[in-house]
């Protein structure tokens, strides 16, 4: 229960969503953990995990009940679902319910914002860069898909063409077309024509990416050879080591700046201290989902949106990228300071709501004239009036 309670606390603290409008829920379908099954003090459902049709029926009953009780405009956020379930649920309910998966969509939106901001330092458009991911689960494929969507929107090119600029490496090596038969369905769009490449270093040398993104959950996988390789053919390589916690980060800030000779544009999923290299202080940005989901949730709620559309995720990314100032860029930051999070959330909410109105998905009428001001007026503050 700590997960949904904590997540909703952030919706309130960072995005100003009223606590009385939040309901934390855990769906318990059992456990396969022998220790818990045999623990007399275990308070969860003491049975093996339900899968297949029974699982699908249970989820369907839950989704129908939520809509029946709370109506069309209740936002259901999926959190910490296993890969295969997460993608299936998003595909199944995305067209009938107001659903959002932070692990897939929130992560993708915050990373895209960092990339859009990083281009102001590095130059070029999204489509002019080549992307290589280490990790092809929910986060990796979710980020890749949103980058391809934004690329497609900017260049008016079919999304299939845009996907060809993005390569993914999983535990078996580079995802290529010869592996298509054995791939999980969410990896298949990323299987491009290329010979088999067995590891990350060889993939970096073969693909020659300008952007390296880690979502593998495995620490120290961006080795010195990998960082030096990408730095050898890029003046300013963009390196995002996104895995949490700090011990699982693909490389540390100090390693990234040292091995790239201070040239990398670097951000992480975990907090790292500033690094001094050759007399210059580099401040690593943190690609934290908490930049996006609270403001996104507020934007959805205040506009009375009835569905989440991918364009609303792109709108959230744009709004976050616009909050990065020249002063931030001068320090090498590609995210704004977290101390401004309420202001950032208001801008994200306004942009998300604006896109919902444009798409005809917003039900709150009339549309407020100034959406940023309206977002700020909707934000809950834990301040009590003094009646004395």
**Residue set of the binding site for a divalent metal cation:** 79-80, 103
Q: What is the per-residue DSSP string for 239-298?
A: EEE--SSGGG-SS-HHHHHHHTTT--EEEESS----EEETTEEE--EE--GGGTHHHHHH
**DSSP assignments along 330-379, one per residue:** HTT-SS--GGGHHHHHHHHHHHHHHHHHHTT-B-SSSPPS-HHHHHHHH-
Q: Which phi and psi angles does 87 have, rounded to 5°?
A: -65, -40
Closest CA relative to residue 316, chosen from 359, 280, 348, 278: 348
Question: Which residue matches tokens 């990339």?
Answer: 115
Q: Take residue 342 and report the two structure tokens written for it.
A: 């309420």
Contact criterion met (CB below 8 Å) for 305 and 312: yes
Annotated binding site: 79-80, 103, 244, 288
Distances in whole angstroms, Cα of residue 17 to Cα of each of 296, 330, 384: 10, 33, 16
Q: Which two tokens stand for residue 224?
A: 């010195």
Strand partners, 231: none
**Rounded CA separation 53/60 (Å):** 10
* Residue 277: strand pairing partners: 280
Q: Which residues are annotated as a binding site for (S)-malate?
A: 244, 288
Q: Is 20 exposed, middle or buried (0-12, 13-18, 19+ CB in 10 A)?
A: exposed
C-alpha to C-alpha distance for 371 and 325, rounded to whole angstroms: 21
Ranges of beta strands (E only) in the chain are 76-78, 99-101, 131-134, 166-170, 173-174, 211-214, 238-241, 265-268, 275-277, 280-282, 285-286
Query: Beta partners for 288?
Result: none
Q: How far is CA 27 from the centre of its chain?
A: 23
């Amino acid at each position: 229960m700590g997960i949904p309670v904590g997540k909703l606390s952030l919706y309130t603290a960072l995005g100003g969503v009223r606590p009385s409008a939040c309901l934390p829920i855990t769906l318990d379908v059992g456990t396969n953990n022998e220790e818990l099954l045999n623990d007399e003090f275990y308070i969860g459902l003491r049975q093996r995990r339900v899968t297949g049709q029974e699982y699908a029926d249970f989820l369907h009953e839950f989704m129908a009940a939520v809509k029946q009780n709370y109506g069309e405009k209740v936002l259901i956020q999926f959190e910490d679902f296993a890969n295969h379930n997460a993608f299936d649920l998003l595909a199944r309910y995305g067209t009938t319910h107001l659903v959002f998966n932070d692990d897939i969509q929130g992560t993708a939106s915050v990373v895209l914002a960092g990339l859009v901001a990083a281009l102001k330092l590095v130059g070029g458009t999204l489509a002019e860069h080549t992307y290589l991911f280490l990790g092809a689960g929910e986060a990796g494929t979710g980020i890749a898909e949103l980058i391809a969507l934004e690329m497609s929107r900017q260049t008016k090119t079919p999304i299939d063409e845009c996907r060809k600029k993005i390569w993914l490496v999983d535990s078996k090596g580079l995802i290529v077309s010869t592996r298509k038969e054995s791939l999980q369905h969410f990896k298949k769009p990323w299987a491009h024509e290329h010979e088999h490449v067995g590891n990350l270093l060889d993939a970096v040398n073969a693909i020659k990416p300008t952007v390296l993104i880690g979502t593998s959950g495995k620490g120290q996988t961006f080795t010195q050879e990998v960082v030096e390789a990408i730095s050898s053919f890029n003046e300013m390589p963009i390196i995002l080591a996104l895995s949490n916690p700090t011990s699982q980060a693909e490389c540390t800030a100090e390693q990234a700046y040292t091995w790239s000779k201070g040239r990398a544009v670097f951000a992480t999923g975990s907090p790292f201290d500033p690094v001094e290299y050759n007399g210059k202080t580099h401040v690593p940005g943190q690609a934290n989902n908490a930049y996006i989901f609270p403001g996104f949730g507020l934007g959805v709620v205040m506009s009375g949106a009835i569905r989440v559309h991918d364009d609303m995720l792109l709108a959230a990314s744009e709004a976050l990228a616009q909050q990065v100032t020249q002063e931030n860029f001068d320090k090498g930051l590609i995210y704004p300071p977290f101390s401004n999070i309420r202001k950032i959330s208001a801008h994200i909410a306004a942009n998300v709501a604006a896109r919902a109105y444009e798409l005809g998905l917003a039900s709150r009428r009339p549309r407020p004239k100034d959406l940023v001001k309206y977002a700020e007026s909707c934000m809950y503050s834990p301040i009590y009036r003094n009646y004395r």
